[in-house]
Structure 1
Amino acid sequence: MADLEVDLDDEFHGADFFDEEDTQSSEDGDFDSWDDTDEADDQEDSAEEDYEEEYPEEEEYDSEYSDEFEEESEADDDEEESEEFDEEDDSYDDESDVPQERELQVEEFSTRSGRKRSRREKKESTQKQSARPASRSARPTKIAYVPISEEELDEKIVPIQKKKHKGLKVTGIIAAILAVTAGCAYGAVTYYYADRFFEGTYINGIDCSNKTAYEVEQAIASTVEAYSIEVTSRNQDPQTISGSQIGYQYMSDGEVLNLLKQQKPYEWVRGFMETRSYNTQENVTFDKTLLQNEVKALNCAQPENQVEPENAYVAMNGDEFTIVPETEGSKLKVKEAYKALDAAISGSQTSIDLGSTPDVYAVAAVTSEDSTLQATRDAYNNYTKASITYTFGDQTVTLDGSTLKNWLQFDEKGQLVQDDASFTQHVKDFVAQLASEHNTVGTTRSFNTTSGRTVSVYGSAYGWKIDQDAEAAQLTEEIRTGTQTTREPVYSMRANAYGYNDIGSTYIEVDLSSQHMYYYQGGSIIFDSDIVSGDIRYDDRATPPGIFTLYYKKSPDVLRGAKKPDGTYEYETSVTYWMPFNGGIGFHDATWQAYFGGDRYTYAGSHGCINMPLDAAATLYSIIDTNVPIVCFY
């Protein structure tokens, strides 16, 4: 605009804006019609003078830059003549706007030119008045406007570029209005959700969208009013306990309100995009005394419906022992049932299965998982596996599961009755039976003598004798471990041969009637000798008949009789070879005997020993063995 003002100023600088006739008439004519405006003019002149006093260089500025601008204007005229304005020119968006724009420029130009001339006229008038006499008026003369052609306007007016973003401003205003409107709407909805749950909110399965905390709690309370719980029990039809039967009612604890407080109202949009689900503890109350009465009234709590549980047990199944599982029974523990229902109702459960609730029913004391029961099963299965075969020479006796099963006891339902004492007694009886059939100690045998006689000989110190206690213990252990074996019984005494005549073919024969002895080995005599046996005149000195074995042998030794009260012995006799076999009776040398054999034992016999010549005693001493039977007979 500064350029425009300078341009216009330069264009009309020095022009004759005053008509001479008008000037004359103004100077000489009547100014009465201007009287009314004198005061306003004086104020305007005063303002003009003040302006010139404040800005004295303005005129100089105008003069200084007028010539310079004129030169620039001429250069611009040449440039504008060669410049074409088309649809692509950045100065105009649309050719249809040029006339209107130019019209505005002309109007603005005219207005500015008028103001400029007015100021110049006032200045010149002031200068003239100052040269005139004081009686002349200082009012301005009429202004004559000089018309200007359209071509001149094109040369002088600098085109004003159209504002390109006028449409954007309108759009921005509309957008701002919409934003404010949307903001207000958003704020209104935010305010709405300050005390309400968002859309898509569920609490305990209840749709709480757009509801206040109070409305939600009322909805929860309405569901509580219709509360009931179904009770399922063993061997009984389900029964229902209603809330009204136990005084069931809802009590607010503020948890719903706390959920609402945790909600941020300005996030209400999220409610339309997602679902939020909460579970709260429904704070309810009910009459526990009424609940106790309802539990006692349940069918499963009635005495006629109580069945005791049964323990698991071991039973025989075919050829092996198995565990029969325990039975649950239906014996209800009413106190525990009440506790379970109390907890279920407090948690707002709508059903409960007492049959699967721990500790509500009595349970079996012994279950199939019991380690002791499993050990018993395994032990008795070993019984069926055990097989012990006893040998008695050519004879055998076998004990196996088929016999052992008969030693066990079972009740009417097949349950194994553990009775260790009874089983132990069966074992002892079995061993005793073996002893009675195969022991030979203490029995009388028929013996064929060298002289051809057959005598009966009683053997109390020789033969087969089973150690029953030791054998029973070993047999019990083998049964329990399922041992399969073939063996002899445990003996306390052994004979040379099995069978009725257990003497065998190696033995010493002492014929007390003929006073002679023989040593048989493998059925052949390897040694014999005359002897002197006990003096038959004395009962306590006669050599007793029977079957014996050698205890030991010793050389030399001293033989002593019974000890007397004074500490001395009835006799003390030194011998070179001593071989005892029946208490204090044995073989030894007797150098004091005059002879051996015959009838010497009838009047000069020994105290019961078998006297032998020294050399015979030495020979026997060298060949006798401890396990060789010694058969004495008359």
Structure 2
Amino acid sequence: MAKHFADSNEVLEAQPKHLSPDDTTESDDIETASSNQEIDEKDEGIDEKDAEQASQPYSTETAIQSIERYKIDTSVLPRIDGKGFPAGNDGAPVGDAFIDATTAMDTAAAAETATPAASGADTSATAEAPAGAEATTLITPPEALKPAGPTKKRKLWLIPVVLLAVLATVYLGGVIVFHFIFMPNTTVYGIDYSLKPVSSLAASIESDTASYSGHITGAGIDVKLSAADINLTYDGTGYANDALSQENVWAWPAEIFKSRELKPTGTASYDHDKLKEILSGVIKENEEAASGQDHSGITFNSSTGKFTMSDQAIAMRILPDKADQEIGDALNSLTKDITLDNKVIQSSENIEAAISAANAYVAAAPKLKLGDNDAGAITADQVAGWTSFDENLNVNLNEQAIRDYVHGDLSKQLDSKGTARTYTRPDGKEITTVAGGHYGWVIDGDKTADALINAIKSGAVQPTVDVPCLQSAVTYDPGKQDWGKRYIDVDISEQHARLYDESGSIIWEADVVTGIPDGRHNTPEGVWDITSHIRGARLLGPNDESGRPGWDTKVDFWLGVKGQDTGFHNAPWRGAFGGQIYKTGGSHGCINLSYDNAQKLFELAKDGDPVVIHE
């Protein structure tokens, strides 16, 4: 660059200021040689000066000196003051204007030195200058054309790149590590395996397998089983890998702060033939034990109230292949207590259906009702006794057994007619009657049996059966008072009778004379009821040897108690009642009253009122 400026200066000095275009052209060749020699001589001195200036800081003074040195026409350059480059007239920075100006000067100089052939311009027109004007060439100062040095830029972008690289390394390292060890806060079926090698889980399950001891129950069997019995082994590696697969190692930065319970599964291997041999031995033993059982081994358990198949009957029906499969599934998790279900039993569906039908019968054991009174219930054990199974496991209900029960035990339980009762009279006297009288419950056996059979077969859960009756009472209280508060109490020992109303209050009472206690004329004891009201009744005694009635007496009021044999009536032939008259001068069995008392009782008493006669 310095040499270029020097050559330009020499050219300017060598040319006259006022030459015609012709003169300029002719002198070019003559002067060129001498000019080249002078340029070479000066080149060396100018280079040294340029180097000295290049080493100094660029300033406004330096720019001015360069202009003066190279005789640059400053009229075409921006004005320069001593402080720097002010803004140009168009507002652009002086630096930019200066560079544009110098670039224009370089272009002009190149145009002037170009040959006509190269430029393609008219030479005469190019060489001619305006009159009175000096021919001037503008040359860019060497300092302005000095190439700028390299700019140092801060490489801040390297920081995040380095951080990302470190994080990626740590992350991938964690992924690799947690492919071989378990993450923190990890348990396997409750056992802590935090930060333990995956291989330790494999070793543990294989060790547990070697020492395995199991207990097989259900399906009627109870068998102990060890690993040695069936050559049991385990795929520990597969088990551990399954546990590892349940961890999300790719998300380990977040997962290490969480807790997890792993539940891996694996596969056990064993000798199936040895296991089936053990099962076959159990089946044979139970076949021998079940050979004498009834109902195909189905029995009723009173404590649970259900039918079940006996253990021996179940075990003899075990299917070894199905049992082997179920036991194998349990061995995969090394389950020590293995319970077989009914799926391993031959014809289990038929057995379950039979047991279900029988249990439905048992569940339908009906409740009993006498009128508005609860009268107990048929028990599950009773229904179980009426239930049987044939060889095809069909369920049968013994209907005849039910009818026999109704006419027998159930009648004794529910019928109260003619039975002894113990009760407490309203005045506090405790009384026990003899077994006699016709008042009380009498069920209809045939209709009751039909009702029970239908209820048991209905499938309903403990339905209620209204027991059909031939005769009813007020309440049901076996062996005790089954009549209401309204009744007539005849106390033979007191020779006194009382009529109680519905509230238990006495509304009538009187002394009486009962039958002579000689065994032939006794007033019949027990619980009876009023059967009739008759005015002007005619009393006839038993016929004598001649066929005539033993007596023939007319009374005003008759209330029958034992049909037409015994009743309440007035006795006009008596002048006294009560006391001990009955023992020697008593009646033939009737209850004698005075006219007034007989009339009042006749009016107050109702047919059906219970009459309790006792000592």
**TM-score, scaled to structure 2:** 0.37
Q: Answer with 1 or 2: which has the greater Rg.
A: 1
Q: Report the TM-score when normalising by structure 1.
A: 0.36
